[in-house]
Amino acid sequence: MKANQSMLNTKRQKVIVAVIKSLRLPFLILTPVNAFLAYSVVVSSGSPINLIWMSLALLGALMAHISVNTFNEFFDFDSGLDLKTNKTPFSGGSGGLPQVPDAKNTVLMVAIISFLITVFIGVYFIVEHGLGILPIGLLGLLLITLYTRQLNRYPWLCLMAPGLGFGFLFVVGIQFALVGEYQLLAWYVAIVPFCLSTNLLLLNQYPDIDADITVGRRHFPIAYGVKRSNGLYAFFMVLPIVVVISYVLVGLLPLTSLYSLLVVPLSFFAWLGAIKYGKDIGQHSQYLASNVAVAILMPIILAASIIY
């Protein structure tokens, strides 16, 4: 009896570990980072911060991010893709479900529950502020539900989805949730995380190209090749530089916002790695790590400069 109970407890522990892995916790930091950028816009406008609204907006964004991650983990395992990828710390899935297949339904349940929490929080803000946030909310829900199984088959839609989510939907959506109206500066600065998040996913797709082809995916590196993808990466690397400098020159951002450009060499380093190694870049994780670092650090520095 004790042996059976011990086996059951061990199985439960393995399921819990697999679910936690499927959340992709290290990547969830992107959510508070971009929420901080939205917060900085509101503070700079002189609007008061409602802590309840701020907490709910952050929770809703986190639930949306968790829902995307867990749906992606579930469908990638269900399609057999997880068994074909060469995993790196930044690509190829978490590995949680291949190690513990029994956690599959639990991961799906987490995805659905987090999705529903996102919906309920969105409805709350509609009640509080009106229908102004509805278009952003509906687009966000579509991205969550369509990303893994549908959008990955359309190169440009797949390319833009992360930037739309982490850039415009998170920054502009959270800003609206905090004050009940749209502020132009939120739309302006959202271009920065849009570019960074786009490049983040783009480079992380390189190591999975061969495996993704086997399950019918057709994202940008598959459809147009690594060379063109490197060129696109360079475009989204340069655009935030142009944006920040232009905003400073016209007075939309303070002079201290130029400090956010100090991390641009990390993007350049990642780009050189992509040029040198192409789809084998996953074997040289320092380049992928640099790509992640700039996606985190640049919005933080930019937000701090807006506040201070």
| Domain assignment present for 22 | no
pTM of the model: 0.92
Residue with tokens 């142009």: 242
pLDDT in tens, 94-128: 778 888 888 899 999 999 999 999 999 999 999 99
**pLDDT computed for residue 9 by the predictor:** 64
Tell me which residue has tokens 């599959």: 104
Lowest mean pLDDT, pick from 16-25, 37-46, 55-64, 247-256: 16-25
Question: Residue 200: pLDDT above 70?
Answer: yes
Mean pLDDT of 15-38: 92
How far is it, in rounded angstroms, from Cα 166 to Cα 177?
A: 15
1 domain residue, yes or no: no
Query: pLDDT of 212-221, one tens digit each?
Result: 898 888 999 9
CATH code for the domain in which residue 42 is found: 1.10.600
Does residue 12 sit within a domain?
no
Predicted pLDDT of residue 7: 57
Token pair 């990828």 in the structure block, residue? 85
| 151-159 mean pLDDT | 92
**Is 188's pLDDT higher than 80?**
yes
Amino acid (one-letter) located at 221? P
Task: Over range 269-277, report the average pLDDT.
Answer: 97
Query: CA 126 to CA 59: how far, in whole Å?
Result: 16
Whether residue 13 is contained in a domain is answered as no
Backbone angles phi, psi at 211, to 5 degrees: -70, -40
Nearest to 301 by CA among 265, 263, 269: 263
- Percent of the chain with pLDDT strictly greater than 90: 76
pLDDT at residue number 140: 94
**Residue 190 confidence (pLDDT):** 97
**What pLDDT does 2 receive?**
56
**17 lies in a domain?**
no
Q: What is the pLDDT of residue 83?
A: 76
Whether 14 is in a domain gets the answer no
At 78, list the tokens: 């269900």
Task: Report the pLDDT value the prediction gives residue 303, as an integer from 0 to 100.
Answer: 97
How confident is the model over 80-101, as a mean pLDDT?
Answer: 78
- Please give the average per-residue pLDDT across 180-185, as a whole number: 95
Rounded percentage of the chain residues whose pLDDT exceeds 70? 97
Model pLDDT, residue 37: 97
CB-based contact 305:260 (threshold 8 Å): yes
Q: Answer whether residue 8 is part of any domain.
A: no
Average pLDDT, the chain: 92
Q: Which amino acid is at 1?
A: M
pLDDT at 183: 96
- pLDDT bin (cut points 50, 70, 90) of residue 91 is confident
State the pLDDT confidence band at 286, using cuts at 50, 70 and 90: very high
Confirm whether 273 is domain-assigned.
yes
pLDDT confidence bin for 149, thresholds 50/70/90:
confident
Q: Which residue has the higher pLDDT, 32 or 83?
A: 32
The boundaries of the domain holding residue 61 are 27-307
How many folded domains does the chain comprise? 1
